[in-house]
Amino acid sequence: MSGKNIQINGERLWDSLMEMAKIGPGVAGGNCRLALTDDDKRGRDLFVQWCEEAGCTIRVDKMGNIFARRPGKNDALPPIATGSHLDTQPTGGKFDGVFGVLAGLEVIRTLNDHGVETDAPIEATVWTNEEGSRFAPAMIASGVFAGVFDIDYGHSREDTDGKTIGAELDRIGYLGDQDCGDHKFGAFFETHIEQGPILEAEEKTIGVVAGAQGQRWFELTLTGAESHAGTTPMNRRKDALLGASKLVTEINRIALEREPYAVSTVGMMQVSPNSRNTIPGSVFMTIDLRHPEDETLIAMADALRAACDKVCADDGLTAELEEIWYSPPIAFDKDCVEAVRNAAATAGYANMDIISGAGHDACYISRVAPTGMVFVPCEDGISHNEVESATPEDLAAGCNVLLHAMLDRATA
């Protein structure tokens, strides 16, 4: 059977999503399934179980990335793969990442239901620590896979308790033996909720993702002088938190001056000594800059450095500013993008081209394989939040587009 007119089982996809959501429940209806925790292991184990029940063989590489393969007529061909991640933010939703993983499983189940044989193998994948919320930077394992980072760097990343990725992979039983990057793809697709408001506002069911914004992540420590809050005159203070507050305003301005596409965020701040009657002596903060054009992103980074220098000079502070991660703007493979566009049009789904404002594993995989992405709407564009929501109908539509885009690429 060719698979030309088949559709996925939307009810089964939804049921799988809700079953996975029972693992690592949050406190407000979402999920807390941080990378390489016991709950992440439970989610991985369930995915592997489901894939084996669907007749897949399982491989795991040295970064814990999982590859579930459905054989093709010619297993010498590189697989047509799809996938995303199972780890979540501390207060994450039920769909970010996990939809892309379980959409891949549903593609395999649907092909089995209809007895469709593809020329190339089909694979569903899970990428380790996409979120970067426990171990920085984000997308670390797909980055090692793509050769952006080496394995020693990947294994050595620590969480706030000093636990490393390598040790935690070993502890939960997902330290695989396959060298990262040895696993070649004929093409790779990732389905995802948009994590933004555009599709919903435009009343489109499918976003045909043409590329992704570039990102620069910084870590900054501002140092002043701790001193008594009651006895130190205002004009003799070196208040690191005051300097940080000024810099937050400047970071916001950097993006506002480059609207509509620029965004900037201070997402984490740690104040020391964090005492109510002591002037803060140091502040650690994270800075996230994003723009779809590299030239503008470079200008934003330069503006950040200049603002930091000015605040330090004005307030008598010193700074350690380090760029810890750079992901350049991405243009996805034109044939994969066209396969997504054609699949959406053939199915009759209202669609539009779109640029991803978030980073995804597909961004790194695009460096080593032809890659495309499929977006579906999420309510109010909210993600990284327990109220994150998407409709069963939109998720099924995205999975149907994924199915037919993969079938297009899996034909020799």
Q: Which residues contact 259 (CB under 8 A, 6 or more apart)?
A: none
Two tokens at 168?
Answer: 């935690």
* 113 to 15, 80, 401: CA distances (angstroms): 17, 19, 17
Query: How far apart are the C-alpha atoms of 279 and 275, rounded to whole Å?
Result: 8
CATH class of residue range 10-213+329-409? alpha beta
% pLDDT > 90, the chain: 95
Are the CB atoms for 343 and 398 separated by under 8 Å?
Answer: no
Tokens 């925790």 correspond to 37
DSSP per-residue string spanning 64-100: --EEEEE--S-TTSPPEEEEE-----TTB-SSTTHHH
Residues 323-337 pLDDT 10s:
998 888 999 999 999
Q: Is the pLDDT of residue 137 over 60?
A: yes
Residues 338-377 pLDDT 10s:
999 999 999 999 999 999 988 899 999 999 999 999 999 9
Residue ranges of the chain that CATH labels 3.40.630.10:
10-213+329-409
Q: What is the pLDDT of residue 271?
A: 98
Confirm or reject CATH 3.30.70.360 for domain 214-327, answering yes or no: yes
- Please report, to the nearest 10 degrees, the dihedral formed by the alpha carbons of residues 257, 262, 268, 274 taken in order: 0
The distance from CA 98 to its chain's CA centroid, rounded to whole angstroms, is 11
Q: What is the pLDDT of residue 327?
A: 82
Residue 1's pLDDT band (cuts 50, 70, 90): low
Query: How far apart are the C-alpha atoms of 286 and 266, rounded to whole Å?
Result: 6
Which helix (H) or strand (E) segment holds residue 55: the answer is: none
Residues 192-229 pLDDT 10s:
999 999 999 999 999 999 999 999 999 999 999 999 99
Are the CB atoms for 381 and 194 separated by under 8 Å?
Answer: yes
Q: What is the pLDDT of residue 406?
A: 98
Residues 169-197 pLDDT 10s:
999 999 999 999 999 999 999 999 999 99
Are the CB atoms for 178 and 70 separated by under 8 Å?
Answer: no
The widest CA-to-CA distance across the chain, in whole angstroms, is 82
DSSP per-residue string spanning 92-135: B-SSTTHHHHHHHHHHHHHHHHTTPPPSS-EEEEE-TT-S-SSS
Which helix (H) or strand (E) segment holds residue 335: the answer is: helix 334-347
Residue 2's pLDDT band (cuts 50, 70, 90): low
Are the CB atoms for 189 and 371 separated by under 8 Å?
Answer: yes
Residues 11-42 pLDDT 10s:
999 999 999 999 999 999 999 999 999 999 99
The whole-number average pLDDT for the span 116-131 is: 98
Residue ranges of the chain that CATH labels 3.30.70.360:
214-327
Residues 272-287 pLDDT 10s:
999 999 999 999 999 9
The distance from CA 141 to its chain's CA centroid, rounded to whole angstroms, is 11
DSSP per-residue string spanning 191-211: EEE-SSSHHHHHT-SEEEEEE
Q: What is the pLDDT of residue 294?
A: 94
Residues 39-98 pLDDT 10s:
999 999 999 999 999 999 999 999 999 999 999 999 999 999 999 999 999 999 999 999
